[in-house]
Structure formats: structure tokens, C-alpha cells
Structure 1
Amino acid sequence: MSARVLAALLLSTDATGMSAAELVRHLRVSPASVSKSVGYLDGEGVIRREQTTRRRDRYVVDPDAWFQAILASADRNQRIADTARRGSDLLGRTTPAGARLHALSRFHQQLTNDIIERARHWRHVLTEPPPGPSSSRS
């Protein structure tokens, strides 16, 4: 359902997004389904709520949505790394369980670092304006 809500917002021709009621009508689903989905997408940083003058929320896809979603994923991996590291420290790295937790911590820490590094790289690359005719070489 979250994917359907996101697709509706992405494909919406209205730059101001859609209200929950509009999403319900457009997707032909229950208000509870839309509420749950927009809550999830908002929490992931993919969409944001904007209040209109009528005090009704409208949901729009944040221009920085993909970057924020990747950072949320990296944050989850960081929490796994931190928890596993604490467990390894408690049990000791020389115990079988401590060694497994240490390996898990190292894996998730490296994954976190890689995700953040690549996300920042591609965010920079993909937000640069495309080269124009004046920048091409003859």
C-alpha cells in the first residue's frame, strides 16, 4: 500500500501533492490504509506533510526523498552495529557468541559507512546540472 501511495504522489500532476481524502478516492482504499502508509512514508523521510491554509495536510514527495530514505536505512544499520558491539563487549570477543556479535557489528558498521558515502556521492553527482553545449569539447 505504501508503494501505491508513493506512486500516486509521484505521478500526481499537481505540484502541491494530495490530501489523504484525495489519496483515498484515487486509490479506492480505506482511510486507515492511507493513514498507515503516509505515516510510514513520512517516518522514512520519503514524503512530507504540508499544512494548507485550510489546516488540511497535503502529502508531497520530498525532493530529497531518496537521499533521506537511504540515510534512514543507514541509521538502522548503525543501530544494529552499535547493539552488536555492546553485546560483543559484554560477552567478550573471545567467546563464540561475542565473536559472532563482533563480526556482525563490523559488517553493519562498514555497510553503514559505505551506504552514507555512496549516497552522498550520487546525491552530488545527480544534482549537478547536466553539461550544456558550452561545456562540451570539440
Structure 2
Amino acid sequence: MPGGRLTQQDRRRIAVGLADGLSYTEIAKGLDRPVSTVTREVMRNGGPHDYRADQAHRATQRRARRSTPRQAPQAPAPSVDSARVRDFADRFTELLVATGIPRMMAAVLACLYTSEDGSLTAAELVRVLQVSPASVSKAVVYLEGQELIRRERDARERRDRYVIDEDVWFRAMLASARMNAALAEAAQEGAEILDAATATSAAARLSDMGRFLDRVGQDLVRSAEHWREVFVQERRSRE
């Protein structure tokens, strides 16, 4: 299976496959790539109905330039010592837990959000939260997997920093859209199998689920792209 990034030709083949009505699985098989690679590529670039190969290629190049690691801040790690900030961080943690995020992961996320520049090392998280290094390690792995934080290498200090940046919720929304797309495809496949087996009620149920998740996922991507661009323009106007 080839490694590396998708090429412009790969993206054009994805666009042709979508136009021909192929599933992500079929397109991925033709490219000899994981299905997740194709799903992520399409959902990050407009969804199955608005995907444009050349536009997606340019957008990927822009994202790659923006993701160049920035110089780590030289100021000391901000403290979360004030009573008001501690109280807010505790309440914010509880709200995140209520959304389904495990408590330790929610506490790390709240700690990063309430830090001055949204960037802390593992050692700083251990100190502020007064938990074990193992707990922090497990939490950041989970949060990275959900694309709620990212890791940067601090070359000067020779250690990793965990960062929340302006695009964190945009990436989280795309991750949610990718999951919707995967569920939608599975539901449609199940509907076809059950329909062939004459289980018409079950087939219709799964078909409705697949169509709903597909439409919601597309709307989610379009909305995330729109509001991200609005906020980017607002930030630029303030600079």
C-alpha cells in the first residue's frame, strides 16, 4: 500500500469515482489506499457532492504551509492560581464531561483553554492539575486522537508542547463529519444487504439513517468551512 500524501492525480481519481457514484471503499480500493484516507480527504474538502480535485489539492497545500511549527513562546507557563479562574476551569471541566469527554481528558482540555497562550508541556499540566504523568499522557493521546489538541516539538527545550489553536473546533467538526460519513456508508450498505434479503422494514430504517447522516455531515462541513473563513477574516482585521 503506497504511503505519503495524496497526489493531485489521486484527487482527480477520487473526483471521478464520486461522479461515477462509487463508494469510498471502491475508490480507496482503486487507489490502493485506506478507506479512512479517502473519507477524510473528501470530508475535509466539501463532501461527496462538492468535492473538487484541484481545489482540494490547493487547500491541502495551504493547510500544510499553515501547519509549519511555530516558535515556542519564551514566556513562563501561565499559572491557573486565581480562585476565579480555578472555579471557571472546574465548571468548564464539568460541562465537557457532560458532552461525553472522560473527566481526565476534560480537565486537561480545560487547563489548556484557560492557559494564556493555549500551550503547555506535560510537566506543566502535571503541576497545574496535580495528577500523575501517566494520567496526563493518557489524556493527551485521547485528545490528539479526537483532534482537539495538537503536539508541537519545542526544539529549544527538547520536549513536546500541547497546543489549542484557532482551528481546533474546525478540525473537531471535520472529525465528527468523517464519522457521520462512515456511519452513513455502513447504513446504506446494510440497507442494500437487507433489501436483497427482503427485510424491507429494516432496509428502509437503515436507508433513512444513512441519508440523514450523509446530509447532516455535508451541512456540517459546509457550515464549518464558512464560519472558519468568517473568523479568519475577523482575526486578520484585528491584527
Task: Give TM-score, length-normalised by structure 2.
Answer: 0.51
**Corresponding residue number in structure 1 for 2:106:** 3
Report the AA paired with residue 101 of structure 1.
L
Unaligned runs of 5+ in 1: 133-138
Tell me what 1:108 maps to.
213
Per-residue CA distance 1:92-115 (angstroms, 9 max, x = gap)? 176111111101101110110111
* Residue of structure 1 aligned with 2:153, choices 37, 43, 51: 51
**Number of residue-to-residue matches in the alignment:** 131
1:47 Cα deviation after fit: 1.1
Greater relative CO (CA pairs within 8 A, separation 6+): 1
CA contact (8 A) 1:16 1:58 kept: no
**TM-superposed deviation, 1:63:** 2.4
Q: 2:34: which partner in 1?
A: none
Q: CA deviation at 1:16?
A: 7.5
Q: Once structures 1 and 2 are overlaid, which stretch shifts more, 81-90 or 46-55? A: 46-55
Paired amino acid for 2:147: G
Distance 2:208 2:175 in 1: 22
Name the amino acid aligned to 2:225: R
Following the alignment from structure 2 to structure 1, what is the Cα–Cα distance between the partners of residues 219 and 121? 36
Hey, what's the Cα distance between the residues in 2 that align with 1:37 and 1:60? 13
Aligned residue number for residue 226 of structure 2: 121
Assess if the C-alpha contact under 8 Å between 2:118 and 2:164 holds in 1: no
The runs of 4+ residues in structure 1 deviating greater than 3 Å are none
Pick from 8, 13, 18: which aligns with 2:120? 18
Contact 1:46 1:62 in 2 (8 A): no
Residue 106 of structure 2 aligns to which amino acid in structure 1? Answer: A
In 2, Cα distance between equivalents of 1:44 and 1:123: 19
Identity of aligned residues (%): 49
Which of 119, 144, 151 is the aligned partner of 1:42? 144
Deviation at 1:70, TM superposition (A): 0.5
Q: Secondary structure at the match of 1:92?
A: helix
Unaligned runs of 5+ in 2: 1-103
Partner of 1:68: 171
| 2:193 pairs with 1:90 | yes
Conserved? CA contact 1:17–1:61, under 8 Å: yes
1:129 positional shift: 2.6
Deviates more, 1:81-90 or 1:16-25: 16-25
Root-mean-square deviation (Å): 2.1
